Structure 1
Amino acid sequence: MLKSTRRIILAGTLAAGAVMANPAYAVAAAGTPESVCGAGFARVADSSRPVKTAAGRTFGRVYLLYNRKTGFNCVTTIKTSFVGTSTYVSARLETQTRRIKDEPARTSTKQDAKNYKYYAGPVKLYAKGYCVKYWGIIKAIGHDQTASGGRNTWGNCG
Structure 2
Amino acid sequence: MRRNAFRFLGAAAVIAATAVVSTPASANTYMVGSCGSGYSVQEAFPLSSDTAPATGSGVIFLYYNSSTGKNCAILRRDVDFVASGGMGITLRVSDGQVATDASSNYRSYAGPVYLYGRGHCVSVDAWVRGYWKDSAYLSHTDTGGIAWSHCG
Provide Cα deviations, 1:29-84, integer angstroms capped at 9, x if missing partner.
532112xx11111101xx21101211223211001100011100000000004567
What displacement does 1:150 show?
1.5
Amino acid across the alignment from 1:52: S
Equivalenced residue count is 117
Which residue among 140, 143, 147 is the counterpart of 1:148? 143
Q: TM-score, with normalisation over the residues of structure 2?
A: 0.69
Higher gyration radius (CA):
1
Q: Which segments of 5 or more consecutive residues in structure 1 lack a partner in the other structure?
A: 1-27, 98-106
Q: Identity of aligned pairs, percent?
A: 29
Matches within 5 A, 1:1-158: 30-34=30-34, 37-44=35-42, 47-56=43-52, 57-81=55-79, 87-97=85-95, 107-114=96-103, 115-141=105-131, 143-151=138-146, 153-158=147-152
- TM-score of the two chains, using structure 1 as the length reference: 0.67
Cα separation, 2, equivalents of 1:143 and 1:112: 25
Distance 1:136 1:70 in 2: 24
Question: Unaligned stretches of 5+ in structure 2?
Answer: 1-27, 132-136
Structure with more relative contact order (C-alpha pairs < 8 Å, separation 6 or more): 1
